[in-house]
Amino acid sequence: MLRLEAGTTWGNWAGTATADPVAVAHPSSTDEVVDVVRQARERGLTVKPVGSGHSFTGVAVTDGVLVMLDRLRGVVAADVPRGRVRVLAGTPLHQLNPALGALGLALPNLGDIDRQTISGAIATGTHGTGARFRGLADAVVGTRIVLADGSVHDCDVETEPDLFAASRVSLGALGIITELTLQCVPAFLLHAREEPGTLTGTLDALDDLVDGTDHFEFYWFPHTDRVLTKRNTRLPVEAGENPLPRWRARLDDDLLSNRLFEVVNRVSAARPQWVPRINGVSSRVLSSREFTAASYEVFASQRDVVFREMEYAVPREAARDVITGLRRIVDEGGHRLPFPVEVRFTAADDVWLSTAHGRDTCYVAVHQYHRMDHRPYFAAFEDVARAHDGRPHWGKLHGRARDDLRPTYPCFDDFLAVRDRVDPDRLFANDYLVRVLGD
Ligand SMILES: Cc1cc2nc3c(=O)[nH]c(=O)nc-3n(C[C@H](O)[C@H](O)[C@H](O)COP(=O)(O)OP(=O)(O)OC[C@H]3O[C@@H](n4cnc5c(N)ncnc54)[C@H](O)[C@@H]3O)c2cc1C
C-alpha cells in the first residue's frame, strides 16, 4: 500500500492559490493511484491531482489528499507511423517535446511556455495560436482515468465516448488521468518573424494576418498604439534550422524579456504614473528578428516575471470590438499597465468544455504585475468579454460561476451528467469546482 505523507503547504506559480492538504501522495503507477483514491475514501478525504501549479485559479487546490504526479513521467509506447504516442500524465511539456522530437514527432500546437504537465495543460484547455489549429486537448485520442470508486477506465471515441469527451478538458473534476494517448504530427520547424507595428494597422489587417500565417499573435503595449507581432510559419525538418545567435537569444529572452522586464515592473509599481512613458520605450526595445528552429523551441519561451492573468475566448468575429472595448478601458479607466495584452486565434473544436468549442476563437489575455492591483482592470475587461459571449480560461483568473457559464457551453449539461455519474460523492471537488460546476 502506498504511504500517504503528511501534507505540507502547497502554492501555485503565481502565488494566487495555496493549499494545506491533510496528506500528499507521489504515486508511480496507475495501481498506486487507485490505492491513494481508496485510502482517501476510507478516511473521508477529498482528492486532487496537481500538475506544475501553473494555473492562476484555485482549480488544483485541496484540503484533502494532494496527488503529485512527479513519478508518472515519460513516454510509455509509440506507434510512430500513425503518430500515436502514449504518455504518463505527469510528463512536463519540456520533457515531452524533446522526447517526441527524438521519435520524429511533435504536438501540432503549443502554448507560450512548456513548464506545465501534459495532464494539467489539457485539464484547463491550454491553447496556443493559429487559425487552422486547435488547443492541446484536441490532440488527445485516449485517456486512462482512475475514478472515485477506484475503477480504471481506458476510454476513447469508441469506448465510453462520453467519459472520453468529458475527460479531455476535465478541470480535474472526474478522476485522475494516469495515461494519455496523443495524436502527433511529423516533427516540424517554425520560421519565426517578429516585428513591431501599430495596433491600428494590425486591427485593420487582422483577417489577412490571422489567415495568412500558420501561427499569428500579437502583443499590444497598453497606453500606446504599439504592438509586437509574431508570425510563425511551419516548415519541414529538411528545410534546416537557422537559430538566433546565442548572444541574441540571451539578450532578448533572458535579459530583455525577464531580468530587465522585472526591473521595469518594479519601477512601474513604485511610480505608476510613469507607466505610459515606460511602455512607449519598452515597445521600441524589442526589435525585429527572424529565426528558424524546432517547433517546440519557437512556441515556448521562458517567463520569470510573476504576474496575474485573465484570458477570455471570444468568437473570432468579435475580436476587433473586444480589443477596442479593452482599449477604452485602458484609456479611460485610470489603470497603469506595464504588461502587454496578448491576442491569439485558434480554430473551433468539439471538446465539451474547451473554450473554443464550436467556434473559431480569438483569445485576449490581460496581465498585471504581481505587485500591482489587477482587480479593477480585470473586472472591467471581464464585463467587455462577457458582453461578447466570452468564455474564461479555466486556469486563469475570472469571476464567473456555473449559472452564467452554462449558457455559453452547448455540452455543459453533458459534462455535469458524466460528473454526477462518475463522482456522485464529489471526491474530486474543491471550492473552485463548486463555483464553476456546482456542488
Ligand atoms: C507563465 C504562464 C504561462 C501560461 N501560458 C499559457 C498559454 O500559452 N496558453 C494557455 O492556454 N494557458 C497558459 N497558461 C495556463 C496553464 O497552461 C494552465 O493553467 C495549465 O492548467 C497548467 O498546467 P499544470 O500542469 O501547471 O496544472 P495545474 O495548474 O497544477 O492543474 C490544473 C488542473 O489540472 C488538473 N490535473 C492535473 N493533472 C491531472 C490528472 N492527471 N488528471 C486529472 N486532472 C489533472 C488539476 O487537478 C487542476 O484541476 C500559462 C500559465 C502560466 C503561469
Cα(20) to ligand 1 centroid in Å equals 19
pLDDT category at 135 given cuts 50, 70, 90 is: very high
CA distance 63 to 69: 17
**325: helix, coil or strand?**
helix
Per this entry, what is the length of the chain? 439
* pLDDT score for 58: 94
Can you tell me which atom of ligand 1 is nearest the CA of 55? Answer: 19
Cα(328) to ligand 1 centroid in Å equals 31
CA distance 207 to 144: 40
CA distance 177 to 170: 10
* pLDDT score for 368: 95
User: What is the arrangement of strands in the sheet containing 289-294, beginning at the earlier edge strand?
Assistant: 289-294, 188-198, 226-236, 215-220, 341-346, 361-369, 307-315, 391-392
Mean pLDDT over the full length of the chain? 95
Which of 45, 42, 39 lies closest to 3 in space, CA to CA? 39
Q: What is the pLDDT of residues 282-305, one digit of tens each?
A: 888 777 899 999 999 999 988 889
* pLDDT score for 255: 63
Cα(52) to ligand 1 centroid in Å equals 7
For residues 63-82, give the mean pLDDT. 97
Specify the pTM: 0.96
Report strand pairing: 65-68 vs 23-25.
parallel
Which cell numbers in the block locate residue 130? 493559429
Residues with CB under 6 A from ligand 1: 13-14, 48-55, 59-60, 69, 89, 111-113, 116-117, 119-121, 123-124, 126-127, 170-172, 176-177, 303, 393, 395
Could you give the domains of the chain?
75-186 (3.30.465.10), 188-392 (3.40.462.10)
In sequence order, the β-bridge partners of residue 95 are none
Cell 453533458 belongs to 414
DSSP at 3: P
Cα(396) to ligand 1 centroid in Å equals 9
Which of 204, 205, 191 lies closest to 237 in space, CA to CA? 191
Question: Torsion angle of alpha carbons 220, 221, 224, 226, nearest 10°?
Answer: -50
End-to-end CA separation in angstroms for the chain: 31
pLDDT category at 2 given cuts 50, 70, 90 is: confident
Nearest residue (CA) to ligand 1, atom 13: 126
CB 4 within 8 A of CB 25: yes
DSSP at 362: E
Cα(221) to ligand 1 centroid in Å equals 26
Three state DSSP letters for 62-100: CCCEEEECCCCCCEEEEEHHHCEEEEECCCEHHHHHHHH
Helical spans, DSSP H, in 12-160: 30-42, 93-102, 118-123
CA distance 91 to 93: 6
* pLDDT score for 202: 98
For residues 139-158, give the mean pLDDT. 98
Cα(238) to ligand 1 centroid in Å equals 33
CA distance 236 to 228: 26
* pLDDT score for 204: 97
Residue 253 has pLDDT above 80, yes or no: no
b/e per residue 121-131 (b: at least 16 CB within 10 A): bbbbbbbbbbb
Cα(392) to ligand 1 centroid in Å equals 14
Cα(309) to ligand 1 centroid in Å equals 13
Amino acid in position 215: H
Nearest residue (CA) to ligand 1, atom 37: 120
Mutate which of 12, 54, 177, 309 for ligand 1 pocket (most atoms within 8 A of beta carbon): 54
Q: What is the pLDDT of residues 377-428, one digit of tens each?
A: 999 999 999 999 999 999 999 999 999 999 999 999 999 999 999 999 999 9
Which cell numbers in the block locate residue 335? 489603470
Number of H helices, E strands in the chain: 15, 21
Nearest residue (CA) to ligand 1, atom 20: 121
Element (H, E) at 206: helix 206-211
pLDDT category at 265 given cuts 50, 70, 90 is: confident
Q: What is the pLDDT of residues 161-215, one digit of tens each?
A: 999 999 999 999 999 999 999 999 999 999 999 999 999 999 999 999 999 999 9
Helix 412-422 to helix 161-168 angle (10° resolution) is 110
* pLDDT score for 274: 86
For residues 34-39, give the mean pLDDT. 97
Mutate which of 63, 113, 115 for ligand 1 pocket (most atoms within 8 A of beta carbon): 113
Element (H, E) at 111: none
* pLDDT score for 395: 98
Cα(368) to ligand 1 centroid in Å equals 19
pLDDT category at 254 given cuts 50, 70, 90 is: low
Name every residue whose Cβ is closer than 8 Å to that of residue 146 and which is 6 or more positions away in sequence. Answer: 30, 33, 34, 37, 152, 175, 176, 177, 178
Can you tell me which atom of ligand 1 is nearest the CA of 59? Answer: 49
CB 19 within 8 A of CB 8: no
